[in-house]
Structure 1
Amino acid sequence: MAAPTWASAADAVKIGFVTTLTTGAGAIGKDMREAVDLAVIHLGGKMGERDIEIIYEDDGFKPEIGKQKTDKLIKKDKVDFIAGYIWSHVLMASYKSAVNSGTFLISSNAGPSALAGKLCHEDVFSTSWQNDQTPMAMGEVLNQRGIKKLYIMAPNYAAGKNMVTGVERTFQGEIVGKDMTKFPAQLDFSAELAKVRAAKPDALFVFYPGKHGAQFMAQYAQADLATSVPLYTTFTIDSISLPRVGEQAEGSLMTMFWSPDLDTPANKRFVGDFKAKYGHYPSHYAAQSYDSIMLINSAVEKVKGDLSDRDAVRAALKAAEFESVRGKLKFGNNNIPIQNFYLRQVVKDDEGQYTTKIVSTVYEDHQDTYAKECKME
């Protein structure tokens, strides 16, 4: 596969992609960027016979920088679409700039409840999920596995609060302890893990994305809690962290809408070519970013490259007429996907690499809780 070229053309389809490319969270942004580059390769560098121009911007893991970069993409670069956004607090700081300017925004990861509900907007789409959904699926798993007493740990920011709300919404047992840790400053969880040990729960549920997840997994192993307090996670263990934490995470369980072994034609091509090009498994961040570009392409193709009719472009985005890595992508009234959620387990593949496999389907065609608060039809 040839490397994509970013030569600017006057009539190029311009896509701004905001992610975190520096700081300790830069590994996530790198995975997303690799997936976007692969999508451009798969499209032959064209959408609707127009060149593709991707402009990457680094949010530095800070809402104010994310907003600055979003404004720059809109006002200076005059992009047709904006995608990306790992963090809910960065997206919440940035989305008004997009919608007030009439720029279509596709969240490739962040799924804050407000944008799924009361603040939903016809020009804002998601190729991921609403934050609560993945932990809601985990709550169902905990019920199925007979967990009666649960301890919860998560970072104290928008997505962390959504994760806790999600698992509490479906878990039917008793919450015997809950710690909302400082984010992103706190990387030492020893005090909280001591509290977990003292509480003697049946299980521990955590949400710690990026480097926080790797730090947590190392400290959980050092605390020697695995034999007494089984660990259940969302967005803590992924293909980015598994090369470092695989031995500690082997056998652990998580929920997600996607997995590298999901048996769809688009996913097989995506995972196979991603591994061949970059030498490692893609993460869900990558899968969602890949779908963001393919969603945009489906709209550009449907309007034959003419982006002047915004209503037509919007309708084409809503139709999502392409094969997603998850199969067919279907949007709810709030432009959040209605989709399956799976229980996944960390395993070794035939080559000894750590990855995840689907154990069971927890939800089929699940719509997020906040869709009923969205006034769009």
Structure 2
Amino acid sequence: MTVAMSMRTTCIKLVLLGAALAAANASAQVKIGFLGTLSGPGGALGQDQYDAFMLAVAQKDNKLGGVPVQLVKADDQLSPDVAVQAARKLVEEDKVSIITGMTYGNVMMAVAKPITSAGVVLLSSNASPAPLAGNGCAPLLFSVSSGTMNQINESGGQLTQDLGYKRVYVMAPNYQAGRDAVDGFKRTYKQQPVDEVYTPLNQLDFSAEIAQLQAANPDAVYVFYPGGQAVNFVKQYRQAGLLGKLPLISVATVDGTTLPALHETAVGAITASAYSPDLDNPQNRQFVAAFKAKYGRLPSMYAAASYDAAQLLDAALRKVGGNVTDKNALRAALRTADFKSVRGNFRFDTNQFGLVDFYRVDVVKGSAGAELATRSKIKVDYRDHLVDQCAMK
């Protein structure tokens, strides 16, 4: 063999070795889809989810479980039809192994079955529609969110009951999560609501409804309004002279996504929540400091749950050595929930939805303006009644 031929052979071998190493590195990389609401009145919720997840990934040098990850982002635009198309692209074209995000319940209801039926793990960090926590549960479906709408609003109903209000007016948007919210509230609030009003999803003018609730003369108002709806409702409630006079109790209405827009307008509101930035544990102190330093704002419960989702995936992928092809092993690793939550207690129930603690969080005037202050625990390690409808064990 001539020297030239020998050099050519060596070059070919090096090229082939480089290609093999590149293929090995590509196979070691885990592709994760993020599907959430990133635009419109609800876009702040999805953005908080995305920002918190990416913060966790950045803190781990763009790896989870020691394995490089590539995140593919998609905006569902709060449209089930758009979400189904986006999910199909993530699964069929982008070849993701895991999809996280999930901001609104009606969207998750549309995509859960197509995603999990394709053998892709769906890990929600917010939307937790009641049907999927019950008889619609599935082996590859997980929710690390701050409880189902039933759970968190059952804590809201309990708080309202404990505060002694007898005539409560209830309002929520007319979609899956809104209906679940009212159902949850009524499971623990022992009196019949004065009225329960469902407004169109994305409605931003509540002047007529506020006039109606004033005429009903309740002794408290209970609402579930997330995102842009929350900002408008609370501002209009204050403008009507009601906040501070007629108690406002809510879930997901005044939180880290809406308080920056509301400021002191929201002072006096009472909330039931699975998270507050002032929760005193090492994980949360680190998370709040890092989130505020990177994004210039305090994290919401949506951000907290999404950060936890990344921590969960970090622990699970480490257990399986980054192998996402063995779905049974990956599922078993996820079910252990072997991570420290920024929200305090967290573990999965048999339906693979979370068991969490719920707190009373008030909006108060602090030294730097309006802030969220944890007052007490309402429920501890609270179990959703829907779990009994889930056939998984």
Structure with more helix by fraction: 2
SS of structure 2 residue aligned to 1:327: coil
1: CA distance, partners of 2:29 / 2:380: 38
Q: For 1:112-123, what aligned pairs fall within 5 Å after superposition?
A: 112-123=129-140
Matched, 1:147 2:147: no
Superposition deviation, residue 348 in structure 1? 4.1
| Partner in structure 2 of residue 363 of structure 1 | 379
Equivalent AA in structure 2 for residue 368 of structure 1: D
Give the corresponding residue for 2:199.
Answer: 181
List aligned pairs for 1:258-269, cutoff 5 A: 258-269=275-286
Q: CA deviation at 1:227?
A: 4.4
RMSD of the TM alignment (CA)? 1.4
Q: Which moved more, 1:173-182 or 1:52-61?
A: 173-182
Contact 1:267 1:326 in 2 (8 A): yes
- 1:139-174 per-position Cα deviation (integer Å, ceiling 9, x unaligned): 111111110001011111000000000111111123
Partner of 1:127: 144
Give me the whole-angstrom Cα distance separating, in 1, the residues matched to 2:369 and 2:216: 35
Give the alignment's TM-score, normalised by structure 1. 0.95
Per-residue deviation, 1:9: 4.2
2-structure distance, mates of 1:103, 1:192: 43
Task: List alignment gaps of at least 5 residues for structure 2.
Answer: 1-24
**Alpha-carbon distance, 1:312 to partner:** 0.9
* Corresponding position of 1:288: 305
Query: Unaligned regions of 5+ residues in structure 1, if any?
Result: 1-7
Q: 1:87 aligns with which of 104, 113, 128?
A: 104
Deviates more, 1:112-121 or 1:15-24: 15-24
SS at match of 2:375: strand
- Give the aligned partner of residue 77 of structure 2: 60
In 2: Cα distance, 1:227 partner to 1:285 partner: 27
Give yes or no for contact 1:206–1:234 (8 Å, CA) kept in 2.
yes
Please point out which of 16, 22, 34 is paired with 2:33: 16
Contact 1:332 1:371 in 2 (8 A): yes
Q: Between 153-162 and 11-20, report the one with greater CA deviation.
A: 11-20
- Counterpart position of 1:44: 61
> Is the CA contact 2:57–2:64 (under 8 Å) kept in the aligned structure 1?
no
Counterparts in 2 of 1:152 and 1:209: CA distance versus 1, 3 Å: same
Contact 2:154 2:187 in 1 (8 A): yes
Query: Where do residues 1-377 of structure 1 align in structure 2 (5 Å cutoff)?
Result: 9-128=26-145, 129-184=147-202, 186-350=203-367, 352-377=368-393
Tell me which amino acid in the other structure corresponds to 1:211: G
- The 3-state SS of whatever aligns with 1:183 is coil
State the alpha-carbon separation in 1 of the partners of residues 392 and 208 from structure 2: 45
Aligned residues: 368
CA contact (8 A) 2:266 2:370 kept: no
Amino acid at match of 1:164: V
Contact conserved, 1:14 with 1:81, CA < 8 A, in 2? yes
Partners of 1:46 and 1:187 lie apart in 2 by: 40
Which has the greater radius of gyration?
2
Rounded to whole Å, the distance in 2 between the matches of 1:328 and 1:361 is 12
The whole-number CA distance in structure 1 between the counterparts of 2:96 and 2:369 is 39
CA distance in 1, matches of 2:135, 2:162: 32
Percent of pairs identical after alignment?
41
Q: Deviations over 1:300-332 (max 9, x none)?
A: 001111223211110000001111112342100
Q: Which amino acid aligns with 2:81?
A: E
Decide which moves more: 42-51 or 28-37. Answer: 42-51
Q: CA deviation at 1:24?
A: 2.4
Give the distance between the partners of 1:309 and 1:26, measured in 2 at CA. Answer: 34
